[in-house]
A = this chain, B = another copy of it.
Amino acid sequence: MTAARLTHVDDRGAARMVDVSAKDVTVRTATATGMLRVVPEVVALLRGQGLPKGDALAVARVAGIMGAKRTPDLVPLCHPIAISGVTVELDVRDDGVVIMATVRTADRTGVEMEALTAVAVAGLTLHDMVKAVDPAAELTGVRVIAKTGGRSGDWHADPPPDAGSAE
């Protein structure tokens, strides 16, 4: 554990935004996933059985994309970053909705936090829309599954992610 430390605090423990001005501008990507577990009744509603499912999934997708852009407003020590692309995919399964977000940039630092924020905000937005039917809905498994680019190179979660065929 000798080398390990929390990079966002200095020797005295003070929080800081770490300087990245000397890092290269390169293309970087990150993919994060998560799941909102809901009761079958909600799954049926999201699948449009009996009633128009309408905008529900689109609202969550848009919220996730916009959430990625708000990351530096939300996460105090994150750098403002020039996001160059975001996709948010939603896969309605029998026990919930799997969310997968991929963010791209050409900048000096990675976009893991942007991808995680997109997943979290899409999940919160789904929660908001289903909470009248399922107040116990649970957002779970929010994590990075892969990233590419930057000095630390490519990384993927182990075991390899099985995020299925998202919508």
A79 nearest CB across to chain B (Å): 6
Mark each residue of chain A from 72 to 83: 1 if its CB lies under 8 Å from any CB of chain B, else 0.
111111111111
- Cross-chain contact A1 with B50 (CB below 8 angstroms): yes
Give CA–CA (A118, B9) in the complex, Å.
Answer: 17
- A93 at the binding interface (Cβ < 8 Å): no
Q: Is A143 in contact with B133, judged by CB distance below 8 angstroms?
A: no
A79/B84 in contact, CB under 8 A: yes
Q: Give the complex CA separation of A46 and B153 in angstroms.
A: 26
Q: Is the CB of A8 within 8 A of B59?
A: yes
Give the number of residues in A that approach B within 8 Å (Cβ atoms). 98
Question: Would you call A65 and B16 a contact (CB within 8 A)?
Answer: yes
The answer to whether B8 touches A128, judged by C-beta atoms less than 8 angstroms apart, is yes
Cβ-neighbour of A16 out of B18, B86, B106, B125 (below 8 A): B86
B interface footprint on A7-37 (CB within 8 Å = 1, 0 otherwise):
1111111111111111000010000001000
- Docked CA distance A69–B77 (Å): 10
Please list 9 pairs of residues, one from A and one from B, whose beta carbons are closer than 8 Å in the complex, sorted by A's number.
Answer: A6-B132, A10-B87, A12-B54, A14-B87, A15-B55, A17-B86, A74-B124, A112-B135, A116-B127
